[in-house]
Structure 1
Amino acid sequence: MLALIRHGQTDWNFAGRLQGRTDIPLNAVGRAQARAAASAYAGGYWEAVVSSPLGRARETAEILADALDLPITGTYDELLEQEYGEAEGISWSEVATHWPDRVIPGKEPDHEVSARGMRGLHRIAADHEGRHVLVVAHGGFIRQTLAAISGHEPRHYPRFENLSSSVVQYANAAWHVRSIGGVPYLEAAVAIERRAAEAERAA
């Protein structure tokens, strides 16, 4: 069982700027969010913490591990955030203005993000031999990876809040989504499918 956790807030998060691979650190709010979130993972069920190599994810992982007295057992390049090329550092509204078709120069293709996300899940599972692991990563990465498992379009997934958690489980030779942003999967899937239907009607 893996809990995919979005890192704490950064100044760019607060300002609504697209981060991607730009290595922006946590701010004071982000550190407080991580400390506050730790209690949700207490009780002995979770056994280790891993993260993306980017500083905002690593520091979030360190805060959680320290609060829960868990080992940090590695960083995984597969957990890096999607690269947004020329759009990094600007707001989503500016992205819509400059690239209304979302064809952004230098952007990592969605299918490549989901493919490395799946590789990352398998590698973490193999390295931890069935243990339950907290995986600190990034909102865009988590969305693409969950969508690859569930079969939904990533754009219909919700926006993930800082420190939100989505749980996946490997069982019967396949990955399964158990929750999305703290919401049980079946309930979240209804909302995702509703958004997909609304988008289709609006097209």
Structure 2
Amino acid sequence: MGELIVIRHGQTEWSLSGRHAGRTDVALTGAGEEAARALAPRLARRHLVAVLSSPLSRAMRTAALAGLSGAEPDPDLLEWDYGGYEGLTAEQIRETSPGWDLWRDGVVPGGADHPGEKLAQVAARTDAVLDRVRPLLRDGDVAVVAHGHLARVLTTRWLGLDASASRFLGHPHPGTLSFLGTEDGQPVISAWNVP
């Protein structure tokens, strides 16, 4: 049984400043590109049978720089649609919604480009990815290149937990790897947030 390798895209200006970048297509910084390239040697040692990526350029570029040519764009790997909170930091959101917590309170609707998603919708998308990935793991590793909050929900659902438990996982840093596997037939996190 292979491992599911979850790769968070490299650094962007918005990830650096803490802005919520859901569906906005923000480019990698120079440091983000460098971190993506640094992943290539570690990924080259793996027997990858499939590579899926969020279709946003920050994820597709990370895949390419990490040596994952031929990454298949998968819209189910898009980041959480933050609705009216798109582009804001948590501190800015809390100015109008004191005590706001993404996992508990969710997002407010935005415009046509950012209508917003409920946590259950994000979980349904990650469940669909896992349904497609699990059979492939019989033949080797599968890499997915995605986003911070999406990676947390994907991991929580891998473990068979309710998506709200995602709050207990630390936010993966840009340009890092996490490994999801099995132990004695049970899903586990083999490693988290590895540079």
Determine if the TM-score, normalized by the shorter chain, exceeds 0.5: yes
Determine which of 114, 138, 146 is the counterpart of 2:147. 138
Structure 2 Cα separation of the partners of residues 157 and 26 of structure 1: 24
Moved over 3 A (4+): 44-48, 100-103, 124-129, 169-177
Q: Report what 1:194 is aligned to.
A: none
Supply the AA of the counterpart residue of 2:97: W
Q: Report what 2:181 is aligned to.
A: 169
1:167/1:128 CA distance change after superposition, 3 Å: closer
The TM-score normalised by the length of structure 2 is 0.80
- Higher helix share goes to which structure? 1
Structure 2 Cα separation of the partners of residues 175 and 77 of structure 1: 24
CA contact (8 A) 1:48 1:71 kept: no
CA contact (8 A) 2:130 2:158 kept: no
Supply the AA of the counterpart residue of 2:133: I
SS in 2 for 1:181: strand
Uncovered stretches (5+) of structure 2, i.e. residues with no partner: 110-115
Deviation at 1:114, TM superposition (A): 1.6
What does residue range 106-117 of structure 1 map to in structure 2 within 5 Å? 106=109, 107-117=116-126
Bigger drift between 85-94 and 122-131 goes to 122-131
1:156/1:44 CA distance change after superposition, 3 Å: closer
The TM-score normalised by the length of structure 1 is 0.77
Q: Report what 1:75 is aligned to.
A: 73
RMSD (Å) for aligned C-alpha atoms = 2.5
Q: Report what 1:88 is aligned to.
A: 86
Bigger drift between 18-27 and 40-49 goes to 40-49
CA contact (8 A) 1:7 1:57 kept: yes
Higher RCO (CA 8 Å, separation ≥ 6 residues)? 2
